[in-house]
Amino acid sequence: QRKYLMGKAKQPAVTTDGKEILVSANISRPTDMEKAVEYGCHGVGLYRTEFLFMESAQLPDEEKQVAAYRSVAEQAGGNLCVIRTLDIGGDKHCDCLSLEEEDNPFLGFRAIRICLQQKDMFKVQLRSILRAGLYGKLAIMIPMVTMLSEILETKQLIEEVKEEMRKENIPFAEDVPVGIMVETPASAVMAPLFAKHVDFFSIGTNDLVQYTLAVDRGNQSVSYLYDYFNPAVIHSIHRVITAAHEAGIWAGMCGEMAGDKLALPFLLALGIDELSMSASQAPVVKEQIRNLESGICDVDKILSLTTTEEVREYLQSLL
Ligand code: PEP
Ligand code: MG
């Protein structure tokens, strides 16, 4: 079975009715690219750059960041690589930023909130991504967005660093798309508005489930409540993908749900454009896509279901 899957790993994932879904890799380091390529991933749907910041007691300087992003871009062989800007805080600590202990770190000073307060640090990362964009196809993705102003401020900073680099005669890629992680209830609710201001969405179900259901993603005593088949999450995902397509942008998913066989019929029916997951899952998911018809799940029906169990049962019946 494994040999069979690996033999087909590099072939595209096309449904029985001819729809291609891009299956990309979630990576933490440039060295993860070797496996991503071997397992047939179409570029990178999520590069968690915080690992570059967690590795050392000092902030990674511009040259170090350019080298890392460039390496990812080059190894992807022309396929899109989505570089998520620093997502520190929550459960991720970093010695190079002196952040205070918080009672509720998941609701605290985290990700884009830190970056917009520490603009000098953020600008170095934005410059690095734009510079590395010359060596492949890169995109910038903002984590933990809850407000339009976070998108607009980030885009403003991107314009600022471009202007600075022009003056410094530093070459960089002009056309790097900017997207957001949709991983807070606020961004799901505001998806129709946010979609007008970005080039793509990627749904981060790990956090979207946590925040939508008010369930700590790491707390075992409430893990029975943590379920992306909860109707509240199902409705949220439907809203986000629909809003993206109405605005003419693509929508992907990079949380754990993207690699779940049971979720596939639902995501295909919504017309999801890309699924991003750990590389080792990709050959299996691609083969599952090849055996599915994109319209097999009735979207109105699944939206009418009232419990997590009903959603699971319905999806199970389709497989
Ligand atoms: C997510 O929240 O779904 C996600 C992919 O990001 P992370 O797991 O890094 O928070
Ligand atoms: Mg997240």
pLDDT tens, position by position, 301-310: 999 999 999 9
DSSP-derived 3-state class of residue 140: strand
Q: What is the mean pLDDT of residues 76-99?
A: 92
276 Cα to the center of ligand 2, angstroms: 13
Among 107, 112, 207, name the best residue to mutate to test ligand 1's pocket (greatest count of ligand atoms within 8 A of Cβ): 207
Say which residue, 311 or 94, is predicted with more confidence.
Answer: 311
For the cut 90, the answer to whether the pLDDT of residue 168 exceeds it is yes
Sign of CA pseudo-dihedral 265, 270, 271, 273: negative
Ligand 2 mean position to 209 CA, how many Å? 10
ipTM of the complex: 0.99
The string of DSSP letters for 9-73 reads TTS-EE-TTS-EEEEEEEESSGGGHHHHHHTT--SEEEEETHHHHHSSSS---HHHHHHHHHHHH
Question: pLDDT grade, residue 173 (50/70/90)?
Answer: very high
Residues facing 139 on adjacent strands: 82
Check residue 91 and give its pLDDT.
82
Distance between Cα 170 and ligand 1 center (Å): 33
C-alpha–C-alpha distance, residues 83 and 137, integer Å: 10
Closest C-alpha among 185, 50, 200 to residue 137: 200
pLDDT bracket for residue 93 (50, 70, 90): confident
Residue 1 has pLDDT above 90, yes or no: no
Q: Which residue has the higher pLDDT, 283 or 97?
A: 283
d(CA 289, ligand 1 centre) in Å = 23
Would the pLDDT of 98 be above 90? no
Cβ atoms within 10 Å, residue 212: 20
pLDDT in tens, 61-85: 999 999 999 999 999 999 999 999 9
Which range, of 93-107, 169-183, 262-276, 292-306, averages the lowest pLDDT?
A: 93-107
28-61 tens-digit pLDDT: 999 999 999 999 999 999 999 999 999 989 999 9
Pocket residues for ligand 1 (CB within 6 Å)? Answer: 46, 48, 87, 183, 204-207, 254-255
Q: What is the pLDDT of residue 171?
A: 98
Mutation test of ligand 1: which of 27, 32, 48, 51 has the most ligand atoms closer than 8 Å to its C-beta? 48
Report the pLDDT averaged over residues 191-199.
98
Residue 217 CA from chain centroid, whole number: 17
Contact 41, 274 (CB under 8 A): no
Q: What is the pLDDT of residue 89?
A: 87
Q: Given this model, what pLDDT does residue 90 score?
A: 84
d(CA 176, CA 77): 17
User: What average pLDDT does range 234-240 have in this prediction?
Assistant: 98
Give the Cα separation of 180 and 237 in Å (integer).
14
Q: How far apart are CA 13 and CA 275, in angstroms?
A: 11
In this prediction, residues 220-228 reach a mean pLDDT of: 97
Listed in sequence order, the residues at least 6 apart from 220 whose beta carbon sits closer than 8 Å to its beta carbon are: none
